């Protein structure tokens, strides 16, 4: 007797995206219906159909703004990941180092970026450099905090093995602590991925743009708001959200490629 035919299982990505996509479609349909039935003015809440029309008609302008903000956010994200890893390695050297310097990372996280933006503009001037630095400042604490936690949370038994082998501090750092902290490091990068986009958008509202006649998503959002161009403002918000998702997926793919052979956080679910 032939065994029943088994259809191939869908890829894990498709399985994970099925329900979110379905919910999004239902939400857009409900949005369109409510706006039409309630006759909501488009300067308050435009319909998805109007937003789609604006994206179609102004996609060149929208894409140009997306690239400008994307470059600034990506620069801040990469810089915060690299510097955050170095600071976390420094903090892992001893508890005395952490007690001396860790409070300043907390201070950076708690000080409102709006309060220090004028100083950043004074030091770096308007344009992309200031925006990139603001994105970096907002993204840095998450990477430092998670990386430091991973570096100091190593199995004591493994540390004893390295001590028995007379491993130096640097050998223990690079061969034990750093590999063990990679899951935490990627968690910090996932948080920083969204924060970097927020930082770039906030920076553009204060620092403007260094591109004559053209600005990023944040700069364009301020201009659209002043013009009450709400459909285009919604399109800019959607583009910003897509950018954050793209950054997050990039980190998730890198984490899976790095950790898939040994860490349970990226292992596929076992069938029951």
Q: Check residue 189 and give its pLDDT.
A: 96
**Residues in Cβ contact with 131 at an 8 Å cutoff, skipping those fewer than 6 apart:** 72, 76, 199, 200, 203, 204, 207, 216
Q: Check residue 8 and give its pLDDT.
A: 45
How is residue 261 annotated by DSSP?
T
Q: Check residue 15 and give its pLDDT.
A: 58
Q: HEC string of 69-92?
A: HHHHHHHHHHHHHHHHHHHHHHHC
Helices (H), 165-229: 169-172, 178-207, 217-226
The fold for domain 51-257 equals MetI-like fold (1.10.3720)
Q: Check residue 269 and give its pLDDT.
A: 54
Low-confidence ranges of the chain (pLDDT < 70): 1-17, 208-214, 262-272
Identify the sign of the CA torsion 107, 109, 114, 116: positive
Q: Check residue 12 and give its pLDDT.
A: 53
- pTM listed for this prediction: 0.84
């Amino acid at each position: 007797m032939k065994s029943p035919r088994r259809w191939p299982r869908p890829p894990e990505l498709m399985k994970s995206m099925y329900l979110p996509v379905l919910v999004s479609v239902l939400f857009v349909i409900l949005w369109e219906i409510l706006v039409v039935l309630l006759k909501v003015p488009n300067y308050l809440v435009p319909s998805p159909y109007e937003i789609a029309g604006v994206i179609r008609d102004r996609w060149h302008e929208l894409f140009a703004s997306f690239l400008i903000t994307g470059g600034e956010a990506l620069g801040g994200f990469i810089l915060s990941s690299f510097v955050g890893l170095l600071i976390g390695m420094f903090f892992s050297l001893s508890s005395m180092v952490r007690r001396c310097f860790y409070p300043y990372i907390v201070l950076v996280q708690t000080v409102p970026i709006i309060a220090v933006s004028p100083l950043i503009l004074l030091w770096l001037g308007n344009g992309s450099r200031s925006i990139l630095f603001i994105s970096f400042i907002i993204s840095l604490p998450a990477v430092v905090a998670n990386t430091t936690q991973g570096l100091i949370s190593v199995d004591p038994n493994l540390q004893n093995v390295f001590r028995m082998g007379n491993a130096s501090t640097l050998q223990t750092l690079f061969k034990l602590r750093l590999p063990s902290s990679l899951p935490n490091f990627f968690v910090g990068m996932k948080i920083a991925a969204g924060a970097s986009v927020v930082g770039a958008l906030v920076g553009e509202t204060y620092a403007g743009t260094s591109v004559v006649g053209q600005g990023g998503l944040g700069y364009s959002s301020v201009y659209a708001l002043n013009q009450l161009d709400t459909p285009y403002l919604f399109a800019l918000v959607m583009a910003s959200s897509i950018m954050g998702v793209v950054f997050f997926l990039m980190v998730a793919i890198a984490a899976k490629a790095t950790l898939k052979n040994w860490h349970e956080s990226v292992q596929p679910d076992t069938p029951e």
